[in-house]
Amino acid sequence: MKFRDGMWLVADDKYVEYAEDIYDMAERKNGLSLLCPTRKIKSRGDSLNRSTITIDMEAAFDGVISVEVTHWAGAANKGPHFGLYPDGRPGVSGVVSKSDKGTTLASGALSATIHPDHHDIFDIRFHGTDDPSTKSLTSLQARSVGLAYSPAPTSPMQTADMRDLKHYMFTQTTLGVGETVHGLGERFGAFNKVGQSVTLWNADGGTSSDQAYKNVSFWLSSRGYGVFIDHAGRVELEVGSERTSRVQTSVEGQRLKWYIIYGPTPKEVLRRYSVLTGRPGNVPSWSFGLWLSTSFTTSYDEDTVSGFLEGMRERNTQVDVFHYDCFWMKAFTWTDFVFDAEKFPDPKAQIARLKASGLVRKVCVWINPYIAQHGAAFAHAAEKGYLLKRKDGDDVWQWDLWQAGMGLMDFTNPAAAAWYTECLEKLFDVGVDAIKTDFGERIPSHDVAWHDRAVDPEKMHNYYAFLYNKVVYAALQKRFGPGEAVLFARAACAGTQRFPLQWGGDCESTAEAMAESVRGGLSLGLSGFAFWSVDIGGFEGLPAPWIYKRWVAFGLLCSHSRLHGSSSYRVPWTIDADDRTGEGCSRTLARWTALKTRLMPYLFAQAAVAVEAGLPLSLRAMCIEFPDDPTSWYLDRQFMIGDSLLAAPVFDEAGLVEFYLPKGTWTCFFTNKTRTGPGWFKEKHGFGSLPLYVRENTLLVLGKEGIKGAVYDYTKEVEVCLYQAREGASARLRDQDGKSVGQLTLGANAELQGAEVLRGSWTYCEAGRKVEEDSATAKGIEWL
């Protein structure tokens, strides 16, 4: 939202006042409270008929300071509020000091300093505590904190009746020369947000617009800090798009609160952010395997499901999770939790047979929080008050968008959440192991009354995704235990990373949409989410065989991998008329699934690191691993998988690809040939490869070749590979249940320490992995 018309004029429909003077500073426990009139106070008379803005700054914990700006403090501060510090708040000791440089609030590694001449110069600078001159992060300067009305009142008397006036609070933090901004949820546009207007408001808008399913009120700067906006409702940001040298944050209401989070590295910023909003949850090993879906509007029944899985086995691809999408229930009944008896006469028996046969390990079903009027659940839910009501409190809120006469689950009602959990438990009894929590974005904010009358309907719009996924995740944890709960969620807000995992929503079946998806995954990873997936092949449309195969390569290198479409199947033989050659879709899918299976010892160990540190596993933006390389902050067509593997998807039918390698020696995974960075490189790839490079000083553990499925013994008959490794290089090991079993470390003279945890006839390769079995793939790679 823009409040000005260029540099000199206020926008037509706005009235704006700015904090001009820091009239008074009061020391509070762990912080400061600043009284800021909206004009400079030169005489007593200047204090009359004048608004003030209070700026409260508090040391939150080491490296983090909260900033809250308030106009009228008597306004109700309705929820919902983000549940901060879910694992406990760290100890804090804010220290206030004064010097010739001003008044400083220090919170461990981060400080805020107020200009000594604060009556005449509005200047609050955020900087590293140990060296303010070299670790300047951002600041609040003149005309950077303010309030606004819309439409513009012509007299202060008009504010006696606020029913026809909107009131906003805003701040503008400075952008340094060359500074870039990233994150703000799963955003599919330009990776660097500078120059963009961003509205944080969950919407079902696909992947080809500025709308987002997952709006997260956190952004990361290339200058070594991040900002978390503690507001569950709509947030408007002008990232260098109103004033080119500032990030403006605005909300409707009387107060705006945010936290500035110091790094100085992106990893440290994300770690501290995860302390504030929660670390990602752990996911089980089986979830990393290949997921196969029925797709959305396709026709399928019990025979179709069995046929798909048998066809995949015949073509040498193991499916770990089978997903029943919407039409496991009858049309017009979603979501009533009842299998279509005509299509699936005995789902429990079928699921048991599929698992017993080894065709699949786990089963997932699709749900959403909308309860269709014609389904078996609606009458009961409406009678018991489990559905959202209209504002008058009597009528159930309904509309015909998506499902005829659908109502919306009111998860602010504990009884409604308990009933919904009971419905899920019946699915678990049938054999369901995971839940796809679709939708949750189209949440009304007008003419509604929630069961919890203390919540603001506008704030509930985004926050609903948190409540919805929390209820389902808790039900899964209750049934299957910690570390075994898995969602496949589309909607999210800040904190939802605690309920993994998320996927990218409705993308088209094009190379451009695949690139959009890469940008979305990168941005979500920089918003505190560890695990992410995508609809392999694209959701909308029928992918051309080359698109499918390129997307398979990309999708099997995401943390989680699912084949899913809209009106067409994604089993490979339907894409290319069952081409069984080495370049066909079936062989391509088999190769990439096998590669991910071999990577499981590395992936599962790296997943634990990601959870501990609040980092993305894959897609991990290059700037996380290489923050001192300026180029890394602009790379949006490649990513890291954990800390040691670099992947660059191919978006071209002929296989041409250009990518960047940071400083160091990098080894091609497929050939063991090396390149030296920093620099840009061009290659040409067949469908069995892409630029996949191993970082120097890596000790990489690979599973035994030929194993089917993601779950196996990650210490047995493995291949231990060194890549320009030096003494001290190490690799963690976890077993298939997630338990740490040890660490391999490279000692002097290439001696491998900790190898006693390895079982069977494992192999040790000191110059990259054995590549003989991939000779055909290696020959298909051209360095240009």
- The answer regarding whether domain 285-368+414-613 maps to CATH 3.20.20.80 reads yes
Tokens of 256: 């705006």
Task: Give the residue from 118, 101, 124, 145 showing the smallest Cα distance to 41.
Answer: 118
Helices (H), 315-373: 347-357
Asked if residues 20 and 40 have their Cβ atoms less than 8 Å apart, the reply is yes
Length of the chain: 784
Identical fold at 1-40+50-72+95-155 and 285-368+414-613?
no
The residues carrying an active-site annotation are 438, 441, 506
Question: How far lies 70's CA from each of 170, 193, 310, 422, 564, in Å?
Answer: 10, 27, 62, 43, 47
DSSP for residue 397: P
Asked if residues 359 and 309 have their Cβ atoms less than 8 Å apart, the reply is yes
Question: How far lies 337's CA from each of 322, 408, 435, 654, in Å?
Answer: 17, 15, 12, 46
User: In whole angstroms, what separates CA 25 from the centre of its chain?
Assistant: 39
Task: Give the residue from 454, 566, 583, 431 showing the smallest Cα distance to 508.
Answer: 566
Report d(CA 590, CA 708) in Å as an integer.
10
What's the sign of the alpha-carbon dihedral 651, 655, 660, 664?
A: positive
Report d(CA 306, CA 303) in Å as an integer.
5
Report d(CA 201, CA 445) in Å as an integer.
11
Q: Give pLDDT tens digits for 75-95.
A: 999 999 999 999 999 999 999
Report d(CA 250, CA 234) in Å as an integer.
9
The full 3-state SS of 176-245, as one line of letters, equals: CCCCCEEEEECCCCCCCCCCEEEEECCCCCCCCCCCCCEEEEEEEECCCEEEEECCCCCEEEEECCCCCC
Question: How far lies 527's CA from each of 463, 531, 710, in Å?
Answer: 16, 11, 27
Global confidence as pTM: 0.97
Question: 3-class DSSP state for residue 543?
Answer: coil
Place of tokens 């009387």: 254
Report d(CA 421, CA 357) in Å as an integer.
30
Task: Give the residue from 492, 481, 482, 478 showing the smallest Cα distance to 523.
Answer: 492
Q: Burial level of 706, CB count in 10 A (0-12/13-18/19+)? A: exposed
Asked if residues 397 and 388 have their Cβ atoms less than 8 Å apart, the reply is yes
Q: How confident is the model at residue 132, as a pLDDT?
A: 72
Q: Residue ranges of the domains in the chain?
A: 1-40+50-72+95-155, 285-368+414-613, 650-783
Task: Give first-to-last CA distance, the chain, whole Å.
Answer: 46
Report d(CA 334, CA 332) in Å as an integer.
6
Tokens of 39: 């004009």
Q: How confident is the model at residue 779, as a pLDDT?
A: 80
Asked if residues 573 and 534 have their Cβ atoms less than 8 Å apart, the reply is no
- The answer regarding whether domain 650-783 maps to CATH 1.20.1070 reads no
Percent helix / strand / coil, the chain, rounded to 5: 25, 30, 45
Q: Give pLDDT tens digits for 101-114.
A: 999 999 999 999 99
Q: Burial level of 316, CB count in 10 A (0-12/13-18/19+)? A: middle
Report d(CA 19, CA 144) in Å as an integer.
8
Asked if residues 151 and 167 have their Cβ atoms less than 8 Å apart, the reply is no
Question: How far lies 727's CA from each of 374, 419, 697, 721, 766, in Å?
Answer: 66, 57, 9, 14, 12
Q: Which residues of the chain have pLDDT under 50?
A: none
Whole-angstrom Cα Rg for the chain = 27
Q: How confident is the model at residue 777, as a pLDDT?
A: 83
Q: Give pLDDT tens digits for 735-772.
A: 999 999 999 999 998 899 999 999 999 999 999 999 87
- The answer regarding whether domain 1-40+50-72+95-155 maps to CATH 2.60.40.1760 reads yes
φ/ψ (deg, to 5) at 238: -115, 100
